[in-house]
Homo-oligomer: A and B are copies of this chain.
Amino acid sequence: MDPRLVRRVQAVIQEFGYRPNFQARALARGRSHTIGLIVSEITGGNPFFSEIILYFERAAVAEGYEVLVSFADTETNPDHIAQCAARMQERQVEGIAVLTFGMEEQLAHCAIDVPIVYSGADHDLPGVRNVRINYLPGYRDAVRHLVEFGHERIGYLSGRLSWSSLRTRYDALRKAMKLNGVSLDKDLVAECDHTWSGGAMGMNLLLNTPKPPTAVMCCNDVAAVGALKTLAARGLQAGKDIALIGFDDLTICQFTQPALTTIQFAPRELAGLSFQALLEEIQSSAKKTNFEYKTRFILRESTCAPRN
């Protein structure tokens, strides 16, 4: 094209402040260039999903997409996630990424006629795209670390096991323990809430058992920080009196006292993988990469040998 003409057009665009109307374009071309992102609503400010949104949006914008975000209230309203998906479809999203890591059961039962990608869904359905989460490496190394310290009574601070997300982690932990020649005593499993206060309560329960655990693994970092609070209140110290391991590797792990040993579950990578998978699905490209995220053990200061 004539560069002179291009300039003149640019000038006129500036002059009149012309902006293309995306809705009209979308209507005409049959493509909205919009995708939906569904994350879990988490009360009490868990920073995990904040980063998921940030990195997902970054990836999407880089590819020319805009993102419609919904926080699915899987806790108090089982239908909510389906409503979110419905709203998104009315907006003609070209696909939906679900990053609730096992809270998406309700979605399986309703008709969605755009590409959809799950992340950490517990069963690999044949027709459904799913970013697999390999929980094992992180749990395996974490348990091995504890076993090498000589721990035999390892406890688990879990969220509600009726939620598949938490059930999956529980199962992965049991498998990891079996691999390391130890077993998970049911009395040492505290089923609370995967929140700050849930962790605090759960640790109290575990410490009140007749023979408390010498090491405790937590279903996420937020619960682990709650557990730290309980320990402090009882005059105990993680990394000295009891071993404590979290899950997620939130930034705060580096700033707790002691710094929290944990299993990495990086939002940036998870968001990236999920978007890539969705993009493949939308472009219905031939290759179907088998996306998998591997958890990783992160050693810091909150573990120690068993006390007495």
Please, which residue of chain B has its CB at the minimum distance from the CB of A200?
B255
Cβ B53 vs Cβ A69 within 8 A:
yes
Contact of A41 among B48, B49, B54 (CB under 8 A): B54
State whether the Cβ of A95 lies closer than 8 Å to any Cβ in chain B. no
Please, which residue of chain B has its CB at the minimum distance from the CB of A113?
B17
Interface centre among A47, A196, A229 (most CB of B within 10 A): A47
- Expressed in whole angstroms, the minimum distance between the Cβ of A262 and any Cβ of chain B is 13
The number of times this chain is found in the oligomer is: 2
Residues of B within 8 A of A69 (CB): 53, 57, 67, 69
Residues of B within 8 A of A70 (CB): 57
Distance, CA A278 to CA B90, complexed state (A): 24
- The B-contacting residues of A in range 67-98, CB under 8 angstroms, are 67-71, 86-87, 89-92
Cβ A23 vs Cβ B71 within 8 A:
no
Distance, CA A91 to CA B25, complexed state (A): 10
Q: Report whether over half of chain A's contact residues are helix, strand or loop; otherwise say mixed.
A: helix
Stretch at the interface among A138-146, A159-167, A246-254: A246-254
- Expressed in whole angstroms, the minimum distance between the Cβ of A54 and any Cβ of chain B is 5
Please, which residue of chain B has its CB at the minimum distance from the CB of A49?
B50
Distance, CA A70 to CA B225, complexed state (A): 30
State whether the Cβ of A228 lies closer than 8 Å to any Cβ in chain B. yes
Distance, CA A44 to CA B250, complexed state (A): 8
Knowing A66-B87, A91-B66, say if A23 contacts B32 (CB, 8 Å): yes
Distance, CA A26 to CA B89, complexed state (A): 15
Knowing A45-B252, A69-B57, say if A89 contacts B50 (CB, 8 Å): no
Interface size on A, residues (CB 8 A): 53
Distance, CA A48 to CA B46, complexed state (A): 9
- Expressed in whole angstroms, the minimum distance between the Cβ of A264 and any Cβ of chain B is 13
Distance, CA A69 to CA B24, complexed state (A): 21
Cβ B71 vs Cβ A54 within 8 A:
yes
Contact of A229 among B17, B21, B225, B255 (CB under 8 A): B255
- Expressed in whole angstroms, the minimum distance between the Cβ of A29 and any Cβ of chain B is 11
State whether the Cβ of A51 lies closer than 8 Å to any Cβ in chain B. yes
Knowing A27-B24, A68-B68, A255-B226, say if A45 contacts B48 (CB, 8 Å): yes
Cβ B22 vs Cβ A92 within 8 A:
yes
- The B-contacting residues of A in range 216-246, CB under 8 angstroms, are 225-226, 228-229, 232
Cβ B47 vs Cβ A45 within 8 A:
yes
Knowing A23-B26, A89-B19, A90-B21, say if A51 contacts B57 (CB, 8 Å): no
Cβ A92 vs Cβ B21 within 8 A:
yes
Known: A27-B27, A45-B50. 8 other contacts (CB 8 A): A17-B111, A17-B113, A45-B47, A50-B50, A50-B53, A61-B87, A66-B68, A252-B252
Which 4 A-B pairs rank lowest in CB-CB distance, beginning with the nearest? Answer: A50-B50, A45-B47, A47-B47, A44-B251
